[in-house]
Structure 1
Amino acid sequence: MTSTLPWELLHTLLGVLREGSLSGAARQLGLTQPTVGRHIAALEAALGQVLFTRSPAGLLPTEAALALRGHAEQMETAAAALQRAATRGAEPAGTVRVTASEVIGVEVLPPLIAALRERHPGLVVELALSNRLQDLLRREADIAVRMTPPEQGQLIARHIGNITLGLHAHPSYLDRCGRPASLADLGGHTLIGFDTVTPFIRAGAQRLGGIRRESFSLRSDSDLAQMALVRAGAGIGVCQLALARREPRLERVLPEQFSWPLDTWVAMHEDLRQNAACRVVFDALVDGLAGYVAG
């Protein structure tokens, strides 16, 4: 075994461990797949141990690879701290990865990011849109907009307020099919909703009287697709009140019987508090989303 292991080899090891494949690690690290393969081969040669075995599900880490992971993550944290120290006090610049839900990422964040880039053109913002909670501790993202309180202790979090969901429809649909007077009346309407049941969806369904997947005539796990169907007059679906206020042709349905407030937070890892780029993006999202919630 060589006396030292280059950081770039351990960085590549982390990428393969996180992505489960050479191609996935290459995309994450901005390398070519052959380069990733050479890095792993070089690390295996230096250690004298096999780090991955192939399977139909992808690359499976050996015990040796798993034993290295914690040490490599500590080196990653130290490297990030070194980079932050080197850029401290400079004009905010660099790449910041933000994760948010589809609707927030498409309907709310773009004008906030556009204004931010005007003030700080050196920023590069990556938007990772998913309803899955990405792990800030594992650096899947730098900053997260979440509709649930962060539970990880190493995060800086700011509570924005409540983003409330309500039932909405296009007036053309309601003129054609009638306006329901109660939740029970929804059974006679075209409902737009989820396809896959999740704990979050299950909580919302309970607020609608225990409505089930089979109750929806139009189903999609994409919130954007559901919004497009509501806007097109296809039926009744769930929409954020703050977003619906921007839509002159959306009408709220059963406001007294269905209202779902979601606690909204902006969070980032505490190690990033001194990173000028992350800090300015974090503050801009906090201010901008607070304005969106206040309406």
Structure 2
Amino acid sequence: MNNIKLPSEPDWFLWRSFLAVMDEGSLSGAARALGASQPTLGRHIEELESCLNAVLFDRTGRGLKPTSIAFQLVDPVRNAKSALAQAQLAVTGATELLDGTVRITASQIISHNILPAILKKARELFPMIELEIVPSDAVENLLLREADIAIRMFRPGQLDVVGKKIGDVPLRACAHQSYLDKHGTPLTPQDLYDHEIIGLDRQDDIIRVSKAIGFPLERQNFKLRTDSQTLIWEMVKQGLGVSFAQFNLIETTPGMVHIVPDLKIPAMEMWLVAHREVHKANRIRVIYDLLASELSAYTGAKM
């Protein structure tokens, strides 16, 4: 008889590593995405190829190049990942226990400046519930369980989610008093052009909104640039320049001053979002309701 090696059934974690490599385009990118080491991901790929008795990637000087077999497999594996996530959602939604884990995602600004006080109250009220926080300005996918609850500054467009508008968050131009003492206080939008404006680097949110309200800014107008909004806020607090922030955050931060009242910046909507199935779980529902109550107090909205 010929010694033909028949394919065996790989463990799911091997498929997960395979999908990460396909999505990220490299072992290093997949390792970062999964929080694993590059050698571990390499061993997973080799083990998966051994299980399937197939070559999924050609090894080149530039890394791994997917073969035609890999491209044929990627969509079925992605569908399987989604199906497993849906199954987990169904189980999560069925439990009524006030223990376990709740994963919350919010923007960097909300996570660092608003959430901690709410999380303290959550721990006091529900000590058996473990909380995981994902500070991110990216949109986490609730359907794939990247988060149980999301605080978003826009109306959710994803299907199969429960969304509650918390309120509108006003935005204002601001600076620290130490900066104004040294450079003077801008009184009109035009005055801002003569000041140290702190803005975004590669993202165009500020530029897009400024043009829409008749106060055009370009990237070169920002004397300090970063795509980290928390870093922008910290630089403004240190008196490095002027920028734009949430009204309530300015109000509650010592030394911060509202400037240029004639600059009318559109408010952002704040939404609290959870997957419809997850929202049935008692532990997630109580955290969701607590967040809704506390964030409504922050925005001044009536429950």
Q: Which residue of 2 aligns with 1:203?
A: 208
Check if 1:91 corresponds to 2:98. Answer: yes
Report the number of matched residues. Answer: 293
Q: Which residue of 2 aligns with 1:237?
A: 243
Sort the Cα spacing of 1:169 and 1:282 in 2 relative to 1 into closer, same or farther, 3 A. Answer: same
CA RMSD in angstroms comes to: 3.1
Q: Which residue of 2 aligns with 1:287?
A: 293
Sort the Cα spacing of 1:110 and 1:211 in 2 relative to 1 into closer, same or farther, 3 A. Answer: same
Residue type at the aligned position of 2:147: A
Task: State the 1:192 CA deviation.
Answer: 1.9
Q: How does 1:114-193 map to 2 (within 5 A)?
A: 114-193=120-199
Check if 1:113 corresponds to 2:119. Answer: yes
Distance 1:187 1:270 in 2: 47
Sort the Cα spacing of 1:106 and 1:22 in 2 relative to 1 into closer, same or farther, 3 A. Answer: same
**Aligned partners of 1:93 and 1:120 also within 8 Å:** no
Distance 1:12 1:208 in 2: 48
Deviates more, 1:80-89 or 1:181-190: 80-89
Q: How does 1:237-276 map to 2 (within 5 A)?
A: 237-276=243-282
Match of 1:216 among 205, 212, 222: 222
Distance 1:58 1:113 in 2: 43
Q: How does 1:26-45 map to 2 (within 5 A)?
A: 34-45=39-50
SS of the aligned residue for 1:192 comes to: strand
Sort the Cα spacing of 1:12 and 1:276 in 2 relative to 1 into closer, same or farther, 3 A. Answer: farther
Check if 1:52 corresponds to 2:57. Answer: yes
Q: Deviations over 1:230-253 (max 9, x none)?
A: 222232211110111112421111
Task: State the 1:209 CA deviation.
Answer: 0.9
Residue type at the aligned position of 1:123: I
Residue type at the aligned position of 1:91: L
Q: Deviations over 1:38-90 (max 9, x none)?
A: 43333223333222345677544444334334433444344445555277122
Task: State the 1:190 CA deviation.
Answer: 2.2
Normalised by the size of structure 2, how large is the TM-score? 0.81
- Gaps spanning 5+ residues in structure 2: where? 1-5
Task: State the 1:5 CA deviation.
Answer: 4.4
**Aligned partners of 1:162 and 1:293 also within 8 Å:** yes
Q: How does 1:13-32 map to 2 (within 5 A)?
A: 13-22=18-27, 25=30
**Aligned partners of 1:158 and 1:267 also within 8 Å:** yes
Q: Which residue of 1 aligns with 2:77?
A: 72
Task: State the 1:107 CA deviation.
Answer: 0.3
Distance 1:184 1:76 in 2: 52
